[in-house]
């Protein structure tokens, strides 16, 4: 699978690395708190009907950290600048975990920017029941293993994270954790005002995707987003964890493809 290219874009004076692939309507993809995982089966399938635009978040990988970004709302504002400077106008947005948090902040700030919103196990709203996992006391390896229900039964998990962690991989994961802690520590990976501001995005068609064995983001987060966003559809994928896109790629692709217009 090599249906993608790596480019850079000068966004507000920062060289942002972008992974782009596919053809069709643009789909902005926001990766999770551990960084971009590489081009997977779900990328390849969605790229048949959409152009995937995947920025590497500032402070992750080759994209430098931006000191003035102090929280996830700032980060959403930066991505809004990127959307305007790249002349993307209104587009569909797909966010995973903390990337879903960013996508929700973008929709809350300017719902005209987002045509369709797909949030996969999103952080960002404090659940009424359950807690978002505290990822920082865990080692990177322990946290990554906790994101899937069946490590051995998920071949793409081994493709992404398998084998011994090289020094380069270890450094990348620790850099990601450090940046996530810097902008998401207090309040912990949520914004108390977000559910109220999402009233502004109540007309944005939204798909919430959640694995029934997710140990990172509880069902309470999905319920909170559904309460805040009126125009929502919830898809639960049975017997998978926090990474439904790799644990049950077929079901994930089916749900997202049915929701997003091609």
- Give the tens place of pLDDT for each residue, 11-26: 999 999 999 999 999 9
Runs of H (alpha helix) within 86-202:
98-109, 140-146, 155-161, 167-184, 194-197
The DSSP secondary-structure symbol of 124 reads B
d(CA 202, CA 150) in angstroms, rounded, equals 35
Residue 221, H or E segment:
helix 219-228
Count CB atoms within 10 A of the CB of residue 106: 26
Looking at CATH, the fold of the domain delimited by 5-259 is given as: Rossmann fold (3.40.50)
Q: Are strands 14-22 and 5-11 parallel, antiparallel or unpaired?
A: antiparallel
So where are the chain's domains?
5-259
- Give the tens place of pLDDT for each residue, 58-109: 999 999 999 999 999 999 999 999 999 999 989 999 999 999 999 999 999 9
Residue 82, H or E segment:
helix 72-85
d(CA 120, CA 15) in angstroms, rounded, equals 27
Per-residue model confidence (pLDDT) at position 121:
98
Regions of the chain short of the pLDDT cut 70:
1-2, 163-164
On whether the CB atoms of residues 222 and 210 are closer than 8 A, the answer is: yes
Per-residue model confidence (pLDDT) at position 262:
79
81 is written with which tokens? 């600048």
Residue 5: beta bridge partners? Answer: 20
Exposure on the CB side of residue 20, measured as CA atoms within 13 A: 13
């Amino acid at each position: 699978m090599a249906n993608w290219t790596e480019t850079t874009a000068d966004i507000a004076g920062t060289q942002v690395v972008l992974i782009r692939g596919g053809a069709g309507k643009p789909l902005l993809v926001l990766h999770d708190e551990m960084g971009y995982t590489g081009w997977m089966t779900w990328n390849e399938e969605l790229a048949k009907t959409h152009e995937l635009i995947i920025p590497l978040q500032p402070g992750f990988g080759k994209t430098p950290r931006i000191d003035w970004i102090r929280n996830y709302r700032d980060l959403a504002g930066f991505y809004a600048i990127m959307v305007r400077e790249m002349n993307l106008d209104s587009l569909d947005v797909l966010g995973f975990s903390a990337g879903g948090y960013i996508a929700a902040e973008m929709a809350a700030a300017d719902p005209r920017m987002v045509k369709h919103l797909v949030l996969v196990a999103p952080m960002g709203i404090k659940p009424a029941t359950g807690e978002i996992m505290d990822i920082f006391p865990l080692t990177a390896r322990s946290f990554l293993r906790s994101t899937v229900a069946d490590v051995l039964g998920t071949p793409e998990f081994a493709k992404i994270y398998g084998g011994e962690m090289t020094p380069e991989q270890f450094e990348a994961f620790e850099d990601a954790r450090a940046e996530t802690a810097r902008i998401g520590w207090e309040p912990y990976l949520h914004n108390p005002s977000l559910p109220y501001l999402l009233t502004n995005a109540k007309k944005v068609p939204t798909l919430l995707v959640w694995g029934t064995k997710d140990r990172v983001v509880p069902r309470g987060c999905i319920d909170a987003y559904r309460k805040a966003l009126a125009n929502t559809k919830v898809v639960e994928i049975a017997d998978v964890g926090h990474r439904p896109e790799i644990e049950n790629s077929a079901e994930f692709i089916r749900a997202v493809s049915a929701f997003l217009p091609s």
